[in-house]
Structure 1
Amino acid sequence: MKRKLAAVAVLSATALLTGVIQVSTAAQAAPTPSLQAQAAQQHATALKLAAGQAGPLAKALKLGDKEQLVAKDAAVDKDGTRHLRFERTYAGLPVIGGDLVVHQKADGSVKSVDKAVAARIALPNTTPKIAADQAATQVTAGVKATIGARADADESPLTEVHQAGKAELVVWATDGNPRLAYRTTVEGQRADGTPSRQILVTDAADGRVLATHETIETAAGTGNGIFVGQVPLATTQSGSNYQLKDAGRGGQSTSDLNNGTDGTGSLFANTSNSFGDGTVNNRESAAVDAQFGAATTWDFYKSTFGRNGIRNDGVGALSRVHYGSNYVNAFWDDSCFCMSYGDGSNNTAPLTEIDVAGHEMSHGVTAATANLNYAGESGGLNEATSDIMGTMVEWYANLPSNPPNYWIGELINLNGNGTPLRYMDQPSKDGGSADYWDANVGNLDVHYSSGVANHFFYLLSEGSGAKTINGFSYNSPTYDNSTLAGIGRDKAAQIWYRALTTYFTSTTDYAGARAGTLSAAADLYGSGSAEYNAVAATWTAVNVN
């Protein structure tokens, strides 16, 4: 039995933070409003403030004469810092992709601005070449043509379609190329009784579809997984059932392959919106691990790097559990944009640990960026990238049931003796991985040649020598007997990700990885900075010079 994880990919996501702003009470005799009422009142005040500043801010931001800001939301921090969110119009038309957030100091001066799209809007005119009725008829006919066909692998076929309201003339700016467009709503019903409401945006010049999405009702469910324990899950309500489908993270979902090896499987759904019982005897338990792992990976990439899904296109992946029979592995398949988990020996040991989810899905990120060849030294870097990011997902999750560490797959027990699959602090402890580079590294299996980069990442994060981190003991050596202090895993991950997405190519080897990470460190922290020097010293410590 090979001790490896097959090629894989990664996710991430975004958390919504809400807070209550404290206010001083009025006269002592006045009744004290509830915290909820205080928050509502303060939000209304902040929103009114934003509306009042819409005009002056539009001028300050040098928007065109035809552009106006419309206050959408506002928040004020305890120190008085304001975050004013606006939608934008152009010649009275809604601008899709025109939203922005203005961050102000307490005195009203602008600190920074976050724009959905930086492109300047300057259209020659606002006269469409296609009439609204024609646009609506055309797009509705296009949706009707899909009756009887699935919209995707998890949706029931459409059985009924009709236009809802008139096509609305808008300015489409989301792709950075502002132009006139129509926004049309098409409603209908699916074969299983689920309502459908699709929003389509079409070019007002030629009728091409620019964007479409199905609006769906989501629900907050709970799950009890084998490895993740009891966790919240974002689910989707369909009739009386709740599905393991996450609309907020690109529609990513989890299905049961029922020990088969083909197809998309059966989407997990039940009427209680509570999934799994934490045991392998309940087929939903492994699904909870997979769904939560995918969501956490999405969140990690989103919050850490601003990446919107594996391909950075907002599209979620399919997770398939109970793959094959006695299948002791997990893998990512870019052709189906899906990841699959076996049930392990005797179908009683699913490989759904969270760092496995992060590892597998990060292969998809690599495929979408550097696309490192899966052989030789580039293959080792491909595998190491998944180990690095899978480890970071585990630290991001910080689960009590799976305390984060620098070991790979320590809970799935692929070795049968309770030991981890791989060790980042001293890779050779697994019996096959390389601690340091040599001329033969490229001839090793990619799961062993990855050891050089895994060792680099641990040393760059934590430094060398014996130490205990989060309750786990490590003792990391260096090729040149140097003593390293480490710069922290967060900075190390930023450097690796930038190198992967900016400098690595399909053929990058270890010498190229050294050059790429040094360039990344210079970009992020400055050439000659402590972080830059640490990257150089750490590569030397694993014999990459």
Structure 2
Amino acid sequence: MTRKQSSQRRTTLRAAALIASAAVVVVGVQTGSAGADAQREAGATAVAFTGSQRAAAVQEAQAAAAGTAEAIGLSSQEELVVRDVVKDADGTVHTRYERTYKGLPVLGGDLVVHQKRNNGARSTTKATDARISVPTTTPAVAATTVNRSAVAASDAKAPAASSARKVIWAATGKPALAWETVVTGTQADGTPSELHVITDATSGKQLYSDEAIETGTGNAMYSGQVTLGTSGTGPFTLTDTSRGSHKTYDLNGGTSGTGTLFTNSTDIWGDGTPGNRATAAADAHYGAALTWDFYKNELGRNGIRGDGVGAYSRVHYGNAYVNAFWSDSCFCMTYGDGANNVKPLTSIDVAAHEMSHGLTASTANLRYSRESGGLNEATSDIFGTSVELYANNSSDVGDYLIGEEIDINGTGAPLRYMDKPSKDGKSADYWSKTLANLDVHYSSGPANHFFYLLSEGSGAKSINGVSYNSPTYDGAAVTGIGNVKAYKIWYKALSTYMTSSTTYAGARTATLQAATDLYGAGSAEYNAVAATWAAVNVK
């Protein structure tokens, strides 16, 4: 089927109107005869900044950072660096900071300051409550030594280490002077590797490692005839100027660089078959546009970073590469062509999954390891599913299955099931102490299960033609509140209350606070969140 599009934008966006000065955003608050719950949700929903408004908000917060650090009780050796600013419609501002100690980055020291309007009540959410202090900032172990050990710790092909940088490690245990080394190479399946290795600068012991290239899989060529944002009048290019100038490139089997921007003499892209190189490009470009619209219209976020800047997509990566991945270093999404180069991994849910890794990196920055890594992967599954449902595309009907079309295992089964994650044979349905030992794609299970139950409830049912039967840990029935409320609660928690080290227990606290902000303490939604976490054994 032909992918057809126009250089003019054909989709009407529902965006909040903003009136702003250079540094202060002025937003109307819903009033009048609306009910208290409606007013509360409107007040707690994020306002979509333009790029200049966000830049002004960040600049304003940075100018006040020294005073903020003192006000929240940090030592004179510590400084705050603004990373993100989220403003609610009622004027509450959530400012996310990284920390430094004697000029060194504090990994795991991130925090969020929540400030009510008109200098009202202030509260702080911290990744760690530990006091940041080390006896010395002079390392006993040389950078060259830790680089060698970091390379040895990597399973990548042709590993190479960057120059180690000196940091304070505060994400686990007592804060310590450490080295951070980035080891690059290629993983066994062809995915690039950017392994971050943290080494104690006093003892030389490895403290932590995580992979910065975040992978995901899904289906391809199931969107049918779609409208894309393009530029030009002949030749045309896959450049979507209405969505942050997102571009889609052809790597043509390469594994580095951007390749070639898709260009065509007509505004027709692909023919619905993998033999036409523009087919995969059309799917990837369409998925990116849907995700952008979902973020803006449903979550009040102007792009992945909230700054109005689009990422870019690369298709036809490598040879028969059966995966897709997000990389913060290029701020881009990359897609392989799948088995035998005939199943490009470029569907709606894959695009949304990958972009949502960028969203997580720009907000909570959940570390891609252990429980926080599972929450990171679950966030991408949650928003990948939510975008697919939001798209309402008759050729790729929304569901709570991950990778249901690609048949990567050759059995016709999905990669993951949100209603009962253990059906894939590897994922966990419920939280347990051993969860942190699982690969992050499988420790995501309880959070995926939570999201399904919060959206749809427990028990047997059919949704959009798919049968589900979701159990609970204690056998108690759970009633869902709908997908829209569920993803709004998750996004609110992610963007304003989760931090880099959030665990499942922390996610429970964050989502309960988000439900309070959106719907009120003791509301039906709040009670549903509490009951649903109990249903996946997080109490």
Distance across 2 between alignment mates of 1:428 and 1:489:
22
Distance across 1 between alignment mates of 2:302 and 2:16:
23
Closer, same or farther in 2 for the Cα pair 1:270/1:456, shift >3 Å? same
One-letter identity of the residue aligned with 1:228: S
- Per the alignment, residue 454 of structure 1 pairs with 448
Q: Secondary structure at the match of 2:360?
A: helix
Closer, same or farther in 2 for the Cα pair 1:520/1:326, shift >3 Å? same
More displaced 10-residue stretch of structure 1: 409-418 or 461-470? 409-418
- Per the alignment, residue 127 of structure 1 pairs with none
Question: Are the aligned partners of 1:84 and 1:103 in contact in 2 as well (CA < 8 Å)?
Answer: no
One-letter identity of the residue aligned with 2:222: F
Q: Tell me, which stretches of 5 or more residues in structure 1 are unaligned?
A: 1-12, 19-82, 106-110, 120-224
Q: Given the alignment of the two structures, is residue 226 of structure 1 paired with residue 221 of structure 2, yes or no?
A: yes
- Per the alignment, residue 128 of structure 1 pairs with none
Q: Given the alignment of the two structures, is residue 361 of structure 1 paired with residue 363 of structure 2, yes or no?
A: no
Q: Given the alignment of the two structures, is residue 445 of structure 1 paired with residue 443 of structure 2, yes or no?
A: no
- Per the alignment, residue 237 of structure 1 pairs with 232
Identity of aligned residues (%): 63
- Per the alignment, residue 275 of structure 1 pairs with 269
One-letter identity of the residue aligned with 1:227: Y
Note the C-alpha offset of 1:85: 8.5
Q: Identify the match of residue 518 of structure 2 among 515, 520, 524.
A: 524
Q: TM-score, normalised by structure 1?
A: 0.61
- Per the alignment, residue 347 of structure 1 pairs with 341
- Per the alignment, residue 12 of structure 2 pairs with 16
What is the CA deviation profile of residues 482-510 of structure 1, one whole-angstrom value per residue up to 9, with x for unaligned ones? 00111111101011001101111111011
Higher relative CO (Cα under 8 Å, sequence separation at least 6) belongs to: 2
One-letter identity of the residue aligned with 2:224: G
- Per the alignment, residue 204 of structure 2 pairs with none
Question: Are the aligned partners of 1:514 and 1:544 in contact in 2 as well (CA < 8 Å)?
Answer: yes
Distance across 2 between alignment mates of 1:311 and 1:104:
30
Matches within 5 A, 1:299-448: 299-448=293-442
One-letter identity of the residue aligned with 1:280: P
Question: Are the aligned partners of 2:13 and 2:293 in contact in 1 as well (CA < 8 Å)?
Answer: no
Q: Secondary structure at the match of 2:254?
A: coil
Question: Are the aligned partners of 2:317 and 2:337 in contact in 1 as well (CA < 8 Å)?
Answer: yes
- Per the alignment, residue 479 of structure 2 pairs with 485
TM-align CA RMSD: 3.1
Distance across 1 between alignment mates of 2:410 and 2:506:
37
Distance across 2 between alignment mates of 1:416 and 1:455:
25
Distance across 2 between alignment mates of 1:442 and 1:270:
48
Question: Are the aligned partners of 1:277 and 1:285 in contact in 2 as well (CA < 8 Å)?
Answer: yes
Distance across 2 between alignment mates of 1:16 and 1:96:
28
Q: Identify the match of residue 506 of structure 2 among 496, 505, 512.
A: 512
Distance across 2 between alignment mates of 1:280 and 1:369:
35
Closer, same or farther in 2 for the Cα pair 1:229/1:442, shift >3 Å? same
One-letter identity of the residue aligned with 1:372: L
Question: Are the aligned partners of 2:10 and 2:227 in contact in 1 as well (CA < 8 Å)?
Answer: no
Distance across 1 between alignment mates of 2:319 and 2:256:
13
One-letter identity of the residue aligned with 1:235: T
What is the CA deviation profile of residues 159-200 of structure 1, one whole-angstrom value per residue up to 9, with x for unaligned ones? xxxxxxxxxxxxxxxxxxxxxxxxxxxxxxxxxxxxxxxxxx
Q: Secondary structure at the match of 1:237?
A: coil
Note the C-alpha offset of 1:226: 1.8
Q: Given the alignment of the two structures, is residue 261 of structure 1 paired with residue 234 of structure 2, yes or no?
A: no
Note the C-alpha offset of 1:292: 0.1
What is the CA deviation profile of residues 183-237 of structure 1, one whole-angstrom value per residue up to 9, with x for unaligned ones? xxxxxxxxxxxxxxxxxxxxxxxxxxxxxxxxxxxxxxxxxx8221100111010
Closer, same or farther in 2 for the Cα pair 1:262/1:437, shift >3 Å? same
Q: Given the alignment of the two structures, is residue 473 of structure 1 paired with residue 467 of structure 2, yes or no?
A: yes
Q: Secondary structure at the match of 2:527?
A: helix
Closer, same or farther in 2 for the Cα pair 1:96/1:509, shift >3 Å? closer
Q: Secondary structure at the match of 2:230?
A: strand
Q: Given the alignment of the two structures, is residue 293 of structure 1 paired with residue 287 of structure 2, yes or no?
A: yes
Distance across 2 between alignment mates of 1:503 and 1:104:
26
Q: Secondary structure at the match of 1:505?
A: coil
Distance across 2 between alignment mates of 1:497 and 1:299:
15
Question: Are the aligned partners of 2:338 and 2:344 in contact in 1 as well (CA < 8 Å)?
Answer: yes
Distance across 2 between alignment mates of 1:509 and 1:87:
38
Note the C-alpha offset of 1:415: 1.5
Note the C-alpha offset of 1:16: 2.0
Note the C-alpha offset of 1:413: 1.6
One-letter identity of the residue aligned with 1:501: S
Q: Secondary structure at the match of 1:468?
A: strand
- Per the alignment, residue 494 of structure 2 pairs with 500
One-letter identity of the residue aligned with 1:231: V
Q: Secondary structure at the match of 1:288?
A: helix
- Per the alignment, residue 66 of structure 2 pairs with none
Note the C-alpha offset of 1:326: 1.1
Question: Are the aligned partners of 1:503 and 1:516 in contact in 2 as well (CA < 8 Å)?
Answer: yes
One-letter identity of the residue aligned with 1:448: Y
Distance across 2 between alignment mates of 1:99 and 1:319:
34
What is the CA deviation profile of residues 128-170 of structure 1, one whole-angstrom value per residue up to 9, with x for unaligned ones? xxxxxxxxxxxxxxxxxxxxxxxxxxxxxxxxxxxxxxxxxxx
**4+ aligned runs moved over 3 Å, structure 1:** 83-88, 95-105, 111-119
Q: Secondary structure at the match of 2:228?
A: strand
Question: Are the aligned partners of 2:324 and 2:345 in contact in 1 as well (CA < 8 Å)?
Answer: yes
Q: Tell me, which stretches of 5 or more residues in structure 2 are unaligned?
A: 1-8, 33-38, 57-219
Question: Are the aligned partners of 2:13 and 2:297 in contact in 1 as well (CA < 8 Å)?
Answer: no
What is the CA deviation profile of residues 60-117 of structure 1, one whole-angstrom value per residue up to 9, with x for unaligned ones? xxxxxxxxxxxxxxxxxxxxxxx999999x9xxxx89999999999xxxxx9999987
Q: How many residue pairs end up in the alignment?
A: 354
Note the C-alpha offset of 1:406: 0.2
Closer, same or farther in 2 for the Cα pair 1:522/1:264, shift >3 Å? same
Note the C-alpha offset of 1:378: 0.4
Question: Are the aligned partners of 1:227 and 1:352 in contact in 2 as well (CA < 8 Å)?
Answer: no
- For the pair shown, the structure with the greater C-alpha radius of gyration is 1
One-letter identity of the residue aligned with 1:278: G
Closer, same or farther in 2 for the Cα pair 1:103/1:387, shift >3 Å? closer
Q: Secondary structure at the match of 1:233?
A: coil
One-letter identity of the residue aligned with 1:414: I
Distance across 1 between alignment mates of 2:536 and 2:283:
35
Distance across 1 between alignment mates of 2:327 and 2:297:
25
Q: TM-score, normalised by structure 2?
A: 0.62
Q: Secondary structure at the match of 1:232?
A: coil
More displaced 10-residue stretch of structure 1: 471-480 or 414-423? 414-423
Question: Are the aligned partners of 2:322 and 2:337 in contact in 1 as well (CA < 8 Å)?
Answer: yes
Closer, same or farther in 2 for the Cα pair 1:252/1:436, shift >3 Å? same
- Per the alignment, residue 112 of structure 2 pairs with none
Distance across 1 between alignment mates of 2:418 and 2:226:
28
